[in-house]
Amino acid sequence: MSTTQEGAKNQTMNQHLRSEPIPFIDVGAQRRRLGASLDAAVKRVLDHCQFVNGPEVFELEKQLAAYSGAKHVIGCASGTDAILMVMMAKNIGPGDAVFCPSFTFIATASPVARTGATPVYVDVDEATFNMSPESLKSGIATARKAGLKPAAVIPVDLFGQPADHDAIAEIARAEGLFVLDDAAQGFGASYKGRKLGTFGHATATSFFPAKPLGCFGDGGAIFTDDDELAATLRSIRVHGQGVDKYDNVRLGLTGRLDTMQAAVLIEKLKIFDDEVAARNKVAERYARGLSNVVTVPRLSPGNTSVWAQYTIRLPEGTDRDGFAAALKAQGVPTAIYYGKSMHQQTAYKHYPVAEGGLPACESLSQDVISLPMHAYLTEADQERVIAAVRGALAG
């Protein structure tokens, strides 16, 4: 083979390697890392056959309580059920207003609507993507004018960063609101030196596989220091069961965390802090490489993030679809969280919006896009993402 032919062959091979897609979230790499320990954990469940409320569920709850600092942890079937169960435990229902940021996943508001209560949408801070305390105040005024009783607020720790919990708690105290922290994307993050799980009256999280701490199916948990609330939640997750399993003392549901998923999570929790540290290194590299061409995420002072997503804002006027296509051609996947805020979605747009509207939510829905983010992104792949973003914007 001639030198020219050899060079052409190498160039073709290099192009092929460069175009190999980067995983947006690499669950497989984590599975390979844990390997035998996961296999052994699953085998233990298969051997003892306690598939519902087995010992791993209670061991996981114990470990999550120690990790977060919460007094009680109640495992459940999903992050959505976690929110629904708390709403049920607090008797939230028709005539009640529950305040939710509109720029988040629908699972924050859908359990509220299912109870018959009214989600009231509030705006977010454009820099942090999290609930705006000022818009919350406006939302409370809106609810009262509509004849609704302000009952609860659900701040969301979006994309992995804690919400402004002190400011929200102050408003909640003044207004008599129950506070449920939606940490579906933020579990493991810290607010002013404290892990999420102890802010508000209760915290809900999700263990969906794509989450920083995810299982191999659906799963969730509720954290609280309230003894009475914890007991009620444990009843609700098993059909509202009382002391006697055939004496159901309240309305409930089948909201249990599967034993197999608990076993998986116990193993994943062992490497969780290491993975969070790796995610933060990726975020730091992205910020260094991209901050002069896009708006990168900003952490509030005193906060840490688990970087459930790394979401940037594109320059005004950028063709977002064209940008995503350009990155895809380079083997760099993207995702849009969220192309429509909740108040813009068909089944939810009839619910009230805080006075003054939701301009930040609507603006973010137009120009955000998320880049690959996980603990197993190599430095070479991180640089490849950075180069693809810069190239697409330069073109």
- Give residue-wise pLDDT tens across range 182-214: 999 999 999 999 999 999 999 999 999 999 999
137, 211, 245, 340: the active-site residue? 211
Based on the fold, state whether residues 182 and 38 are members of the same structural domain: yes
User: Which pLDDT score is estimated for 184?
Assistant: 98
pLDDT of residue 245: 84
Q: Do residue 325 and residue 214 come from a single domain?
A: no
Domain boundary among 208, 237, 267: 267
Residue ending a domain, choose from 237, 267, 297? 267
Residue 1 in any domain: the answer is no
Nearest CA-CA partner of 180 in 158, 194, 207, 200? 200
Domain boundary among 225, 248, 267: 267
Pairwise CA distance, residues 236 & 258, whole Å? 16
Residue 233 included in any domain: yes
Sign of the CA dihedral 243, 247, 250, 256?
positive
Alpha-helical regions (H) of the chain: 3-19, 27-48, 55-68, 79-89, 110-114, 133-145, 165-175, 227-236, 259-269, 272-290, 320-329, 359-367, 379-394
Query: Which structure tokens are listed for 2?
Result: 């001639």
Is position 86 within any domain?
Answer: yes
Spatial distance between the Cα atoms of 340 and 350, rounded to a whole number of angstroms: 14
State the pLDDT at residue 19: 66
Please confirm, yes or no, whether 281 is among the known catalytic residues: no
Report the percentage of the chain scoring pLDDT > 90.
Answer: 94
Tokens 């790796």 found at: 278
Q: Please write the tens of the pLDDT for every residue from 353-381.
A: 999 999 999 999 999 999 999 999 999 99
The answer to the question of residue 199 being in a domain is yes
Rg (CA), the chain: 22
pLDDT of 395 reads 75
Which residues on neighbouring strands pair with residue 74, listed in sequence order? 222
Q: How many domains does the chain have?
A: 2
Q: Tell me which residues of the chain have a pLDDT lower than 50.
A: 3-4, 7-17
What CATH number did the domain enclosing 243 receive? 3.40.640.10
Dump pLDDT digits (tens) for 114-160. Answer: 999 999 999 999 999 999 999 999 999 999 999 999 999 999 999 99
Q: Residue 361 sits in which domain range?
A: 272-394
Amino acid symbol at 82: A
